[in-house]
Amino acid sequence: MKVWPLHATLAAACLLLAAQLSFAQSVALAGLLGSKALVVIDGGQPRSLAVGESHQGVKLVSLQGDEAMVEMGGKRQSLRLGGAPASVGSSGESASGKQIVLSADSRGHFMTQGQINGHSASMMIDTGASFVSLSVAQAEQFGLNYKQGRMQAMITANGVIGSWRVKLASLRVGDVLLYDIDALVSSGAMPYVLLGNNFLGRFQMNRNNDQMVLDKRF
């Protein structure tokens, strides 16, 4: 019978354990402690994590309002305070798409349905906007604590209005998912989330008559 060296046996055991954890691990957001998130991993005791810290292979990427973005095994998942545990290692919440295809409506606008931090939203392409933009009502609907963001002036067709600079943990259109997107929360009314140039800059944009194709660059 062949006897394996102790260090090889231990290495193999660690690799097996890591593989099991990457599929079995579940994470829930149990509470907030100042600038830290209290996460529960695999039903264990709550663990406080600051942004950038990791525990048992789970890293806290961002914390915004009552939502946290965590990462494990190269995949990210948005968690909501009090929500059901999420299987971070599963592929169900990941989006690996590289292309968005949109068709113009009767007014010539490119509309789509998407998600911000896991919340559904109606969106419109706006090449005249510098940033992704949304209203206060939309920000509150998405659970964004926008008043902690930096206040600045926003120039619109109706003049200059106040706005807050925030960071969106995730923005999804179709099968394409982007992380850590800067956005402006406007004090004015907006019927749609505007996908501005900081979103469009992530893509190679081609337009052919009434069709727009966005190919993800990064």
pTM: 0.57
pLDDT at 214 over 90: yes
HSE, side-chain direction, 13 A CA sphere, residue 44: 11
Q: How many CB atoms are closer than 10 A to CB 180?
A: 13
CA 158 to chain centre: 31
The mean of the pLDDT values for the chain is: 79
Query: Largest Cα–Cα distance of the chain, in whole Å?
Result: 82
Q: Which pLDDT belongs to residue 91?
A: 42
pLDDT at 130 over 50: yes
> For residues 65 and 48, what is the distance between their CA atoms, to the nearest angstrom?
16
pLDDT tens digits along 5-63: 544 444 444 444 444 434 335 788 888 888 899 888 876 788 899 999 988 878 898 98
Q: Which pLDDT belongs to residue 6?
A: 46
> For residues 116 and 92, what is the distance between their CA atoms, to the nearest angstrom?
17
- Do 111 and 126 touch, CB atoms closer than 8 A? no
